[in-house]
Structure 1
Amino acid sequence: MILKNNVILITGGTSGLGLEMAKRFVGLGNQVIVCSRDLKKLEETKKLLPSVKTCQCDISNEVERIQLYNRIMGTFPKLNVLINNSAIVYRTDFMNDGQSYEKAVEEINTNLIAPIHLSKLFLSHLSARPNAALINITTGLIYVPRCIYPFYNATKSALHSFTQTLRHQLQGSPTSIIEVLFPAVNTPWHAGAPPKIAISAEKAIDEMILGIGKGNTEIKVAGVKKLYLLSRLLPKLAFKKINALE
């Protein structure tokens, strides 16, 4: 994927990694559109990055996803990159949380169903555009689950599997199917309590951009490389270490 002169849609592009992606891609000479369900965050992003276009959408809602697709096609017909970045997480004790099922449904709709549906909506269009790419954002926790996130691990593992399958089915297609697996990153996602091993958003996106520029289709960022190896060689130790993080 060439890193400039693209039209890029980033879901969840108003904070954390999504916002850092928007900054970086704008700086590389791309037109960036960010979507979020939070109008205030969209307004703040527009002030920070005046060239960015914004679009309000709750991607967990099927009707709003279709409306997003129609708006983008009507306004940005040259779109050639979709980044499925938006995700939510609940820390919960499955049996002792009376709302655990409802939280699971919300996470599944946002973290898994939404990127699958958006991929289905946009891929036919992307395949007709030059330098096209679909980029799904996952995590090193697909290899070793962190038990405080019972649904997040599962949704991202499923998205990882879907991305691998899609890449295989689309062999020969001009559209690159890319997955970026992030480690713990110091962003608002951690609600002010990131683990000590968390890296900066800037460093995380540096590695993402480097991997995309090299043509990699599965980009393991920072500590994800070590976690992958440890999970294969010493799975019990990997599980213990991930679940002992502070």
Structure 2
Amino acid sequence: MDGMTATGVRAHARIAARADGRGGTALPVLDSDGPLALRRTRGSGGEARVMVVGAMSGPLGGDRFALDARVEEGARLHVGSAAATIALPGQTGGAARYDVRLDVADGGELRWLPEQLIAAGGSDLYVTTRAEIGVGARLVLREEQVLGRFGEEPGRLGSRLTVRVAGRTVLDQELACGPGAPGGWDGPAVLAGHRSVGQLVVARPEFAERPPAARMLGENAAVIPLAGPAVLVSAVAPDALRLRRVLDEALALLG
């Protein structure tokens, strides 16, 4: 672990996946760090699976977490988490930060499917997710953010999601919610009173020739083709359970 300072905990965990030459995937790098504990679990069909297990509470105010995952050519990696991540206020004050960097080489495949991120009352967190994928790479990336636990006001949550395919940016979006966020975040143009928001990005080489059509999924979700072999599903819902249901249905629809 990078350690604990007067301003919070520093932690940087790393995963690297590589084809093992026998139809499977090896994990030459699986480095846990402090609260970011990585555990390999049973995979299937040549896919390696890793679970992120929270070894302590956080991120708290002032913490700085980072998680990098690299998938090399021909490797297949599935990353999930054992439980929701809960952003909490810290004793040191100040905002927390959580940076995720994903790199999928040409012909690699990554399924990034963590549990929800919950912004508890009084917390202040900025999270970034940046995915770089190569030609012929495949990606399924899910983000789910929940504003507050049951019956409490939300904390402040800022997020930025960037996806680049073959060196070209196909998605770069930011969202700020909760106390102190720019006005209108809870209005009809953004969350419309909902407390759960999610994104699903699916990138597949076959989308270059047959991109999914733009469409609504019920009243609160939409399929949006991106400027590349990728598609975005954006959704809001009253709670985390209904948000997951919508995103699962969207993923099934996309095959």
Q: TM-score range by the shorter chain?
A: 0.3 to 0.5
- TM normalised by structure 2 equals 0.34
Which structure has more strand as a fraction of its residues? 2
- TM normalised by structure 1 equals 0.35
